[in-house]
């Protein structure tokens, strides 16, 4: 039991000034995904019965390649931000939290890099 007042314990432990930035990034990536998802779904549905050459030529168009790259980056960034919040809120064992945060960061970076390379190869090679 402590004789210190709760205000005295909390003083100097103000916000890290990071929460608002994280919140805004999550909202901006959500808006980007909301705008890009209809394009992605329509493109994917139109290419369902297409052959390999048609898919490559469609993704090789500059507008489609740019939209695909933007979609992929927004998707993985949004996923990283969301998973980070889930881990921070529900994992209370410090070593497990750090391990999961690092794993999520590397997994999202690796997946986004692989996606960017794949789209770039399709756009450049065609």
CATH code of residue 117: 1.20.1300.10
Whether 22 is in a domain gets the answer yes
Between CA 46 and CA 38 the distance in angstroms is 12
Residue 4 counted as domain residue = no
User: Looking at the domain assignment, is residue 86 inside a domain?
Assistant: yes
CB 78 within 8 A of CB 33: yes
pLDDT at 8 over 90: no
How far apart (Å, rounded) are the C-alpha atoms in residues 40 and 114?
Answer: 18
Q: Structure pTM?
A: 0.82
62 falls within a domain: yes
User: Residue 119 has what pLDDT?
Assistant: 93
Integer Cα distance of 54 and 63 in angstroms: 15
Q: Is the pLDDT of residue 78 over 70?
A: yes
Task: Work out whether the CA dihedral 25, 26, 28, 33 comes out positive or negative.
Answer: positive
Report how many domains make up the chain: 1
Query: How many CA within 13 A on the CB side of residue 53?
Result: 0
Evaluated on CA atoms 88, 90, 93, 95, the torsion sign reads: negative
When pLDDT is cut at 50, 70 and 90, the band that residue 6 belongs to is: confident
Range of the domain at 58: 18-125
Domain contains 6:
no
pLDDT digits (tens, 9 = 90+) for 17-29: 667 888 999 999 9
Q: What is the mean pLDDT of residues 79-103?
A: 95
| Beta-carbon contacts of residue 113 (< 8 Å; ≥ 6 apart) | none
Q: Is 121 a member of any domain?
A: yes
> For residue 77, is it within any domain?
yes
pLDDT greater than 70 at residue 10: no
């Amino acid at each position: 039991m402590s004789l210190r007042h709760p205000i005295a314990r909390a003083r100097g432990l103000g916000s890290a000034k990071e929460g608002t930035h994280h919140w805004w990034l999550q909202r901006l990536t959500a808006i980007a995904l909301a705008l890009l998802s209809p394009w992605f779904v329509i493109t994917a549905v139109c290419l369902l019965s297409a052959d390999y050459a048609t898919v490559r030529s469609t993704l090789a168009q500059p507008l489609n390649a740019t939209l695909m790259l933007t979609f992929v980056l927004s998707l993985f960034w949004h996923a990283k931000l969301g998973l980070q919040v889930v881990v921070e809120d529900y994992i209370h064992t410090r070593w497990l939290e750090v391990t999961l945060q690092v794993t999520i960061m590397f997994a999202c970076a690796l997946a986004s890099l692989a996606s960017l390379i794949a789209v770039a190869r399709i756009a450049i090679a065609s």
